[in-house]
Amino acid sequence: MQLNYSGSGTIFFKDQEYRCDLYKNTEEGGTMVKISIPKRFAGYLELPLKFDKIAGKLSNGFQFILLKCDRCKMVNLISEERSEYSYTAEYMLNGIGKEYLDVNFSKVSYGITNIIPWGGISEYCITDECKMGYSEEKEIELYKDESMQVKYKVSGSFLPCIENDLLKEEIILRQYGSICIQFSEERPLEEYTEELMKIKRLIELSSLKRIYIEEIWGWNSQICDIYDSDSKFERPIKIDAIYINKREAEKDKIDKSDIWRFITLTELRENNSFNYYFEKYKKLEPIIELYMELFRKGEISGRRMFLNLVQALETYHSRFTTNDLEGFKWRVDNEILKDRPEEVKERERKLLMANSRKFVTLESRLADLLIAEFQIYFDTGNIKREEFPSVIARTRNYYIHYDEKIKEKGLVLNDEEITIYNKTLVFILEYYLLLELGFQDVKKLNEKLIGRWGHVSDKLRIQHAVENLERAE
């Protein structure tokens, strides 16, 4: 990342002032400050290795606060009779100085790319006269509890209001979505970011796309613009952060063909998903972290995705179903097989127990998830349904241990087959994740998942037809 020089000025630290140079990259969120000490041979620890917060002021009057700074370089510039310490900052608060060094925020808004189609509302509307106007619905409450409120908002550029603005060959309107988080009391910026990242993961899971933060604004009750004795408004503070990435956002625009695969904001609200999500987040977090690997497609192999998906399914079963062998046995007999015909009970019990003698095996967990209490049928392609759990477990074990003896026990999927059956695994995983997020209509849920991932059997048939055609040629 290239950092551009922004100006020189003064850094304030422990009642002392030091010369500094500020560098920024507004497109990719990078901020660095170089602090100079007038010593040819300053000690390595003359300044701390880290700053939780530090304030500065440039020669042009611009004030700033840097948060979470880490030392990245230190050098003695003997010929210049000074030493220089360089720090990267996680955040930079623009326009406020040392008197607000301990600033907390009452509200923070994150401008986000790639969510307008997902959000389902627009800054604009088409009037009854077939003219463009402003929409009335520009914000939606996503979640609220006793301490926090989360809203989705849409903002955009103004429609032309000056006659000269209409005399252009091209008039461009831009709109963007934002997530606004407000706590009941002022809190540190890091707490807002923590909540934002939770929401970001849910949006990415829903849209199957990475989303990027383009801008951040914060509000504090003590930092205000006063226009007259009766008009006082909290002044928004522009915040730069290392996770702002306008360049990647521009490269990763949503394609119109992707939109029909979305689980939209409307669908999430209809199923009260945000409430379920925040309620269960601690249990869901490791599963979703593994799931997020999907969004680095092209950066990770199909094999890596396979291992992540299997681990995510195993983690889900242990956290939400059972991690106790005796509890699992009880579940098999009293929940899954309770009403099954006698002629199939023993066969299905054997499939479910799958060598679970001292602990619940991966194969047993996969079998339980695959059966899904007979509520839904998962497409296992060319692999027989009753063999699917053992094939997946065996393949996982092989690619973890690379023990060739494992292949002697039965089928192990190759890289091409893994890529195909990853769709089955993500189909199963999403089914259970969406159940936890309040989606209870299994028929609708199945239709949604087919739309997102398709049928593995269809893909295999197409692949087989292509292979036959190539052989015929």
The 3-state DSSP class for residue 144 equals strand
Residues 303/420, Cβ–Cβ less than 8 Å: no
Spell out the alpha helix ranges (H) of 91-245.
116-119, 189-207
Report the amino acid identity of residue 309: L
List pLDDT tens digits, range 174-199: 888 999 999 999 999 999 999 999 99
pLDDT for 122 equals 85
Residue count (the chain): 473
The fraction of the chain above a pLDDT of 90, given in percent, is: 70
The CATH architecture one would assign to domain 4-100 is Beta Barrel (2.40)
Is residue 300's pLDDT more than 90?
Answer: no
Question: Rounded distance, CA 471 to CA 473, Å?
Answer: 5
Entry pTM? 0.90
Residues 173/156, Cβ–Cβ less than 8 Å: yes
List pLDDT tens digits, range 61-71: 999 999 999 99
List pLDDT tens digits, range 125-161: 888 788 788 887 789 999 999 999 999 999 888 877 7
Residues 370/354, Cβ–Cβ less than 8 Å: no
Question: Rounded distance, CA 331 to CA 121, Å?
Answer: 44
**Distance spanning both ends of the chain, measured CA to CA:** 50
**Residues β-bridged to residue 244:** 213
If you ran DSSP here, which 8-state letter would residue 271 be given?
T
Is residue 200's pLDDT more than 90?
Answer: yes
| 185 CB-near residues (< 8 Å, 6+ apart) | 106, 147
Residues 21/33, Cβ–Cβ less than 8 Å: yes
Question: Rounded distance, CA 303 to CA 308, Å?
Answer: 9
Nearest to 204 by CA among 89, 296, 312, 309: 296
Of 232 and 451, the one with more pLDDT: 451
Locate 77 and state its tokens. Answer: 């510039």
Q: How confident is the model at residue 259 (pLDDT cuts 50, 70, 90)?
A: confident
Is residue 232's pLDDT more than 90?
Answer: no
DSSP for 276-312, written as a single string? HHHHHHHHHHHHHHHHGGGGGBTTB-HHHHHHHHHHH
Is residue 296's pLDDT more than 90?
Answer: no
pLDDT for 125 equals 85
- Tokens 């909540």 correspond to 195
- Out of 248-262, 290-304, 345-359, 389-403, least confident range: 248-262
Residues 65/31, Cβ–Cβ less than 8 Å: no
The 3-state DSSP class for residue 161 equals coil
Locate 295 and state its tokens. Answer: 């969004």
Q: Is 7 exposed, middle or buried (0-12, 13-18, 19+ CB in 10 A)?
A: middle
pLDDT for 101 equals 94
If you ran DSSP here, which 8-state letter would residue 242 be given?
T
- Out of 11-15, 236-240, 245-249, 446-450, least confident range: 245-249
Distances (CA, A) of 163 to 127, 160, 203, 403: 21, 8, 40, 75
Is residue 254's pLDDT more than 80?
Answer: no
pLDDT for 357 equals 93
Question: Rounded distance, CA 176 to CA 206, Å?
Answer: 18
Locate 54 and state its tokens. Answer: 């530090």
